[in-house]
A = this chain, B = another copy of it.
Amino acid sequence: MASQEIEALAGALARLPGLGPRSARRAVLHLMKRREAALQPLLSALQTVSERLSTCSTCGNVDTSDPCAICRDPRRDERSLCVVEEVSDLWALDRSRLFPGKYHVLGGRLSALEGVRPENLHVESLIQRVAAGGIDEVVLAMNATLEGQTTAHYLAERLEKFPVRLTQLAHGLPVGGELDYLDEGTLAQALRARRPVA
């Protein structure tokens, strides 16, 4: 059909999450039809990110500078540290703009099944950050999965000797959640954590 070069571009796009072969071809056509408005901006954005890409040596965030924009931000509260599994979790939390502190990315979760042990995660660097002092609260913002919660429990044990407040995200009904469509686990958590009506 199209030339090898176009097929190569469609192939590279098709490997992005959220794009399959068909939508990748539509994206290629879109780019080829809008050379100035779409292809060039994407190309230069990719080039810039590719040149400056780095992992923050403090928190593990990926950014175009090290330390990352969050670690460098003087308006961030140094005394609050939010521990997350992945960079995508950091981004998701930070989009909400509700957490004023800094982050620590573990790079995964403990998993007996997948053979992920504490030494495979950025646990020691977390312990060192907390041991260095100046932190009042550590939010263990793991996913609400079995492995996420196992990881949170492990970290809580490792951190309990330090004078910090350990917290975790609340479990319960998601906003807009309908009881009829929620799984029993969520319902059980929401019921257990029920609060008096204000």
Chain A residues proximal to chain B, CB less than 8 Å: 1-3, 5-6, 8-9, 11-13, 15-19, 23, 25-33, 35, 38-43, 45-50, 52-53, 62-65, 68-70, 87-88, 91, 94-95
Contacts and interface: CB of A to CB of B under 8 A. Distances in A.
Nearest to A15: B38
B26 A63 contact: no
A88 B25 CA distance: 8
Main SS class of interface, A: helix
Given A5-B45, A46-B9, A63-B3, A27 B19 contact: yes
Contact of A43 (B1, B46, B95): B46
B64 A25 contact: no
Nearest to A3: B64
A42 to B, nearest CB: 4
A30 B17 contact: yes
27 contacts: A2-B69, A3-B63, A3-B65, A6-B63, A8-B45, A9-B48, A9-B49, A11-B45, A12-B38, A12-B41, A12-B46, A13-B16, A16-B19, A16-B31, A16-B38, A17-B23, A17-B30, A18-B18, A18-B19, A18-B27, A26-B88, A32-B62, A35-B50, A39-B46, A39-B49, A39-B50, A42-B46
A73 to B, nearest CB: 11
B29 A91 contact: yes
A77 to B, nearest CB: 16
Contacts of A70: 1
Nearest to A55: B32
Given A3-B69, A49-B9, A25 B62 contact: no
Contacts of A30: 16-17
Which of A23, A29, A35, A52 counts the most B-chain CB atoms under 10 A from its CB? A29
A23 B50 CA distance: 19
Nearest to A10: B45
- Ordered nearest first, which 9 A-B pairs have the shortest CB separation? A18-B23, A9-B45, A12-B42, A16-B27, A3-B64, A8-B45, A1-B94, A12-B45, A5-B64
